[in-house]
Structure 1
Amino acid sequence: MLKSIPPILSPELLKILMEMGHGDELVIADGNFPAASHAQRLVRLDGHGVPEVLDAVLSLLPLDQYVNQPAAVMGVVPGDPVVPVIWEQYAALTEKHEGKTIMLEELERFAFYERAKQAYAIVATSERAQYANIIVKKGCVL
């Protein structure tokens, strides 16, 4: 155990966060996301939800301050009545860690899948909320 490192962050995920450079992206995926078939590097955090993983990740990883939207979610498929209230938690967590409001980019479902394939890594969770996937872009420590 180490001080000040959230215990939810596994050694494998900590290594990935350290390896990532400015502009690299990390997907934190819900339980329905096809993580294994899309990941270049896959970390499993079964039994955890996206908000708790996002909170822990953002405690260490700065968001890219040089882009307008350093975080993206999978937009609701047209005609689907789901309202992803979990996005409110994401907005609150990004503001908590960045000290300012971060507008979440909404990507069409298949555009999200394609971007996820290019991500440095995907973290697979057991999150059950629909449209709970999020991509974060790493920034610089200033």
Structure 2
Amino acid sequence: MLRGLNPILSPDLLHILRAMGHGDDIVIADANFPAESTGRRVARLDGLSATDVTEAVLSIMPLDSFVDDPAITMQVVDDPQATPPVVEAFQKIIEATADNPAAVKPIERFAFYDRAKAAFAIVQTGEGRLYGNIILKKGVIAP
């Protein structure tokens, strides 16, 4: 155990977050996401929600302030204007927790998968809400 860290942050996830560099992406994925076939590195947090994991990650990882879209979600198939409740929850977490709050940007499903394939890592959660996937871009910590 360590002081000051959310206990959701497993040793594997802490290693991933520390190894990431500025501009690297991390995917926090729901239980339906094809993490193992998509990602180079996968950390599993099966019993946890994607929103809880997002909050824990953003409590120690800076969100990139040099890009327009540091937080990306997947558009709803056949209704790209819809905003699922889980995406609304992601937005509230970003506003409350991120050091550089930004608006969540939805992108088309297959574009999301392409971004996920290029991500540094994927965190597979037990999130049961549909569209409970988010890509976060790591920022820098100023000296």
Q: Percent identity?
A: 49
**Matched residue SS, 1:110:** helix
**Does residue 1:22 correspond to 2:27, yes or no?**
no
Contiguous gaps of at least 5 residues in structure 1: none
Q: Which residue of 1 aligns with 2:12?
A: 12
Q: In structure 2, list runs of 5 or more residues that go unmatched.
A: none
Range with bigger deviation, 90-99 or 18-27: 90-99
Between the aligned partners of 2:100 and 2:25, the Cα distance in structure 1 is 20
SS for the counterpart of 1:106 is strand
2:113 corresponding residue in structure 1: 113
Shift of 1:98: 2.8
Residues in 1 aligned to 2:121 and 2:99: alpha-carbon distance in whole angstroms: 25
- Aligned amino acid, residue 122 of structure 2: I
Q: 1:102 to 1:79 in 2, by over 3 A?
A: closer
Under a length normalisation based on structure 2, what TM-score does the superposition of the two structures give?
Answer: 0.94
Alpha-carbon separation, structure 1, partners of 2:99 and 2:60: 14
Structure 2 residue identity aligned to 1:23: G
Aligned to 2:35: 35
Decide whether aligned partners of structure 1 residues 56 and 43 sit closer, same or farther in structure 2, where only a CA change above 3 A counts. same
Change (3 A) 1:24 1:100: closer
CA distance in 2, matches of 1:83, 1:104: 10
**Aligned residues, how many?**
142
Bigger Cα displacement from structure 2, 61-70 vs 71-80 = 71-80
For 2:69, the equivalent position in structure 1 comes to 69
1:49 Cα deviation (Å)? 0.5
RMSD: 1.6
| Segments of 4+ moved more than 3 angstroms | none
Kept in 1, the 8 Å contact 2:71–2:105? The answer is: yes
The one-letter code matched in structure 1 to 2:5 is I
Alpha-carbon distance in 2 for matches of 1:99, 1:64: 9
> Partners in 1 of 2:42 and 2:133 — Cα distance?
15
